[in-house]
Amino acid sequence: MSGLQPGVWYAIAAEHDLPKDHVYRTMLGGHELAAWRSTDGAVHVWEDRCPHRGVRFSLGEVVGDELRCQYHAWRFGKTGACTFIPAQPDLKVPRTIHAAVWPVALSAGLVWSGIEPTGAPPELPPGAVLRAIPIARAAASVAHALVKEPLSGLALVLQPLDETATIVRGIALDDDLVRADHALLALRRRLEQAA
């Protein structure tokens, strides 16, 4: 659990990563996160862990406006509250049973979250949302490499997965997603092949 500054918005997904009826899975600063969209289009970001026995929500399924855990099919509504427990179908589920909800903001075609983020997410210039590229290096190393050799035509943000890996996200200002992809893959090769 490091490298995650409170008060900061981090990009954790692209809006196109969240189609209907799908649970998206990622990590931020060592915290595992699950994200999904309810039928009204709203995005929900939760700790990727069912409070019952700790099974990842991302193994589960979205059905309408509920996420069902794959283990015992407990159902969780948009607010994160558990709404139904099949093993005890007559139980009025106590309010204490809920997902751990993270803040969400949508901006620049990306989904943002963080620990008590303040204000709005960083503004990005218009363009096409890139394919996110994971790099097996700490965010500081990736940032340093981008300062040393900036990639032209790209507005980039970093998502620290944990201490050893980072996802690079952002926008291609000229909409050339293929060129951007090549540039990021080249960056990845340079960083991962170095010591």
Partner 1 sequence: MILYDAHHLAPCYAVRLLAGCLGVTLELEPLDVYPGHANQTEAFLALNPLGTLPVLVDGPCIITDWLEALAHLALTHDRAWFPAEHAALIGWLGMARDLGASAGAARLIDTFGAPGDAAAARAQANALLDEVERRLWFSERGFSERGFGERIGQDWLIEGPHPSIADLACFVFIAPCEDGGLSLRDRPALRRWCDRVRFLPGFVSMSGVFPPMANTGR
Partner 2 sequence: MTPVDPILWNDWHPVAARCMLDPARAHETMLLGVPLVVTINADGTIAVQRVDHAAPHQDERYGLVWVCLGTPTREILPIPEADEPDRPIVVVGSVGVRASGPRVIENFLDLGHLGYVHARYLGDDPHTRVLPYTVEPLPEGGIIATQCKMFQPQASPAATEGFMVDYIYKVERPLATCLYKANPVQRDRFDIIFLIVQPVTEETSIAHPLLLCLPDGTTPAALRAFQQTIFMQDKPILENQVPKRLPLADGAELPIAADKSSVAYRRWLSAIGLTWGVIRADEKARAA
Size of the site for partner 2 (CB under 8 A): 24
Query: Does residue 48 interact with partner 2 by CB under 8 A?
Result: yes
Query: What's the CA dihedral at 125, 129, 134, 138 to 10 degrees?
Result: 10
Answer yes or no whether residue 22 interacts with partner 2 by CB under 8 A. Answer: no
Residues 27-46, interacting with partner 1 (CB under 8 A):
27
Residues 101-160 touching partner 1, rule: CB under 8 A, are 131-132, 134
Binding residues among 86-105 for partner 2 as defined by CB under 8 A: 86-89, 91, 96-97
Among the listed residues 37, 49, 75, 137, the single contact to partner 2 using CB under 8 A: 49
CA distances to 34, 43, 57, 78 from 23, in Å: 6, 11, 8, 13
What's the distance, CA 69 to chain centroid? 19
Q: Residue 57: name the closest of 70, 38, 72 by CA.
A: 70
Which backbone phi and psi does 95 adopt, to 5 degrees? -65, -15
Which three-class secondary structure state does DSSP give residue 75? strand
Q: Which residues bind partner 1 (CB under 8 A)?
A: 13, 16-17, 19, 21-22, 24-27, 59, 61, 63, 68, 70, 73, 131-132, 134, 161, 165, 167, 177-178, 181
Q: Which residues bind partner 2 (CB under 8 A)?
A: 1, 30, 32, 48-49, 51-56, 59, 70-73, 85-89, 91, 96-97
